Amino acid sequence: MSRAVPSTGRDDGSPLVPDGLDATVVLLRHGESEWIREGRFQGQAESPLSALGRRQAALAGERLARPHASPALPVPGGLPREIAHSPLARAADTASAVASAMADLRVVGEAQATAAPLPVLRAEPGLLEIGQGEWEGVTADEIGRHWPAEIAGWRRDPLAVHAPGGESLAEVDARLRPALARVLDELGRDYPRGTTDRPQVHGYSGAAQAAAQPWSVLVAHDGVFKVVMLALFDLPLAKFWSFSMGLTGISVVEFRGGRAVLRAHNWTGHLAPIEDELEREITERRSRSGAL
């Protein structure tokens, strides 16, 4: 199979990240779906959020609606310009939960919510999950039995091997880059360009984000977000397995004068209420059984 390395920029040869861009992008993976609960590969097939997934999405929405509540997320002030999401229902419903939480703040009149218009909520086809072809809807155990060489190859060398009938990483990268370009171009519109000739180590004076810096939220999937991270940081597709995101994990990428900086990765602290409930259930079961 082809091992071609994709372009590091756009079709016209310009860089993917606009020169001098000062902005922030938040990546949010969707909540648990029914197929994840059942251990099935999803790809571009539809699988709705499970009951747990809907709770995860609501908690993620509350977290992003109040990003500066302790512990603060490293995002600018105000509301995001847009919430762009994969068209698949599990991502669209998670994105809607975020938009609803931000709209709820407008209703109660919180200062952050009234300082800027509500973000645009839009489907972005380029954020579709990686197509998994014949593996979609099939459990991991079944894939291991019927396609042992292929699944082993995918896990060892994803640039060379992908699901039968599915997308290669090069194909995903090619359709993802125009989507990222649209998001980044919108962030750079009507906002002054920055420079890297300023303090770069956070904690020192002058290194923090400007409060008015624009930011946006992308809601999508673990697989496509791996490719997003590689594209933003100009890393080869062979590094695909270097990034991972938990369900409703939040990652924050800041652009400082056009340079991508990873400010946070896979934050899931907003899921603490669910984890606390699970721990209480385990403790109660142990208490009833007398187990230590």
Residue 243 burial (CB count, 10 A): 20
In terms of Cβ atoms closer than 10 Å to its own Cβ (0-12, 13-18, 19+), residue 103 is middle
Q: Which of 111, 94, 84, 90 has its CA nearest to residue 217?
A: 84
Pull the structure tokens for residue 51.
């009951």
Work out the percent of the chain whose per-residue pLDDT is above 70. 89
pTM, two decimals, is 0.91
Q: Mean pLDDT over all residues of the chain?
A: 90
**In this structure, is the dihedral angle defined by the CA atoms of residues 41, 123, 118 and 22, taken in order, positive or negative?**
positive
63 CB burial (10 A radius; 0-12, 13-18, 19+): buried
> In the predicted model, is pLDDT for residue 181 greater than 70?
yes
Mean pLDDT on 188-199: 90
Return d(Cα 47, Cα 64) in angstroms, integer.
24
Which H helix or E strand runs over 55?
A: helix 51-65
* Tokens matching residue 214: 């624009």
Residues taking part in catalysis:
30, 129
Strands ordered across the beta sheet of 23-29: 120-123, 82-85, 215-220, 23-29, 250-256, 259-267
Residue-wise pLDDT tens digits, 7-24 = 457 777 789 999 999 999
What are 65-92's pLDDT values in tens digits?
Answer: 999 999 999 999 999 999 999 999 999 9
236-289 tens-digit pLDDT = 999 999 999 999 999 999 999 999 999 999 999 999 999 877 766 655 655 555
Where does the pLDDT of residue 207 fall: very low under 50, low under 70, confident under 90, or very high at 90 and above? confident
What fold does the segment set 23-289 form as a domain?
Rossmann fold (3.40.50)
Strand partners, 216: 25
Examine the pLDDT at 43 and tell me if it is beyond 70: yes
Query: Angle, nearest 10°, between helix axes 89-108 and 51-65?
Result: 40
pLDDT tier at 1, thresholds 50, 70, 90 = very low
Whether 112 shows a pLDDT value over 80: the answer reads no
Write out the DSSP string of 238-281. GGGGG----TT-EEEEEEETTEEEEEEEEE-GGGHHHHHHHHHH
The per-residue DSSP string of 117-168 comes to PPPEEEE-GGGPPPP-GGGTT-BHHHHHHH-HHHHHHHHH-TTT---TTS--
pLDDT score at 276: 73
Instruction: Give CA–CA dist 146/151, Å, rounded.
Output: 9
By residue count, the chain amounts to 292
pLDDT value at position 75?
A: 96
